[in-house]
């Protein structure tokens, strides 16, 4: 038996510094704006996720070269820096949560699961950058936590388009996630007249 879904929209790593520094990260913004409008109109829980590391580096292990590079990038990923704020055009509303993360997955060491369970959420609509990093890691953790996951392909992006396509066409469906477009998701979730 399939229980009706209570979804939340997750917008991941769409922060000022990432959009300014990585041109591919701007690609999903139009689709995300459409999804945000539809989700807000439908009363869905909206949660923004951003990466921010302690300026001291206390949360960056010598065993993690990726996050060492992020930390060494300076204010681009430092907690409290303007670069880690959500991009202005996607700005979170006062009633929407912003979850700070210190690893790739939006679940690793954060209170995201608590927020979702408090909102009786059982499924995620996942968007953000990069497809092969934040989106993939969050998807795997969400599935392990028994959430149903829909990934909105045009609301995600990766620096390598062929990698994005591979994840959308092969990896995510093989893991049990639904992959769709923003237009199709919005059409499927229009309020009944």
Within 57-145, strands assigned E span 97-101, 123-129
CB 122 within 8 A of CB 152: no
The answer, as to whether pTM is greater than 0.85, is yes
Task: Give residue 2's pLDDT.
Answer: 52
Task: Give residue 191's pLDDT.
Answer: 63
Separation of alpha carbons 159 and 187, rounded Å = 28
Task: Give residue 45's pLDDT.
Answer: 96
Separation of alpha carbons 148 and 152, rounded Å = 13
Residues in the chain predicted with pLDDT less than 50, given as ranges, are: 1, 193
Task: Give residue 5's pLDDT.
Answer: 76
Helix (H) or strand (E) holding 49: strand 45-51
Task: Give residue 4's pLDDT.
Answer: 55
- Ordered by where they begin, the domains of the chain are 7-188 (3.40.50.850)
Query: Nearest to residue 128, comparing CAs of 59, 56, 28?
Result: 28
Task: Give residue 193's pLDDT.
Answer: 44
């Amino acid at each position: 038996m399939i229980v009706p879904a209570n979804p939340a929209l997750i917008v991941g790593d769409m922060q000022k510094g990432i959009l300014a520094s990585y041109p591919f990260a701007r690609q999903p913004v139009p689709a995300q704006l459409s999804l945000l409008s539809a989700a807000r109109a439908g009363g869905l829980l909206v949660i923004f996720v951003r990466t921010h590391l302690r300026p001291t580096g206390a949360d960056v292990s010598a065993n993690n070269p990726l996050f060492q590079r992020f930390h060494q990038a300076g204010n681009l990923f430092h907690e409290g820096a303007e670069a880690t704020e959500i991009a202005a055009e996607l700005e979170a509303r006062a009633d929407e949560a912003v979850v700070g993360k210190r690893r790739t997955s939006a679940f690793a060491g954060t209170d995201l699961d608590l927020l979702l369970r408090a909102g009786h959420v059982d499924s995620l609509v996942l968007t953000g950058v990069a497809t092969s990093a934040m989106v993939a890691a969050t998807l795997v953790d969400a599935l392990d936590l028994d959430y149903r996951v829909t990934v909105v392909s045009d609301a995600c992006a990766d620096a390598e388009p062929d990698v994005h396509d591979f994840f959308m066409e092969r990896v995510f469906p093989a893991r049990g996630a639904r992959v769709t477009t923003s237009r199709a998701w919005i059409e499927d979730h229009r309020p009944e007249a």
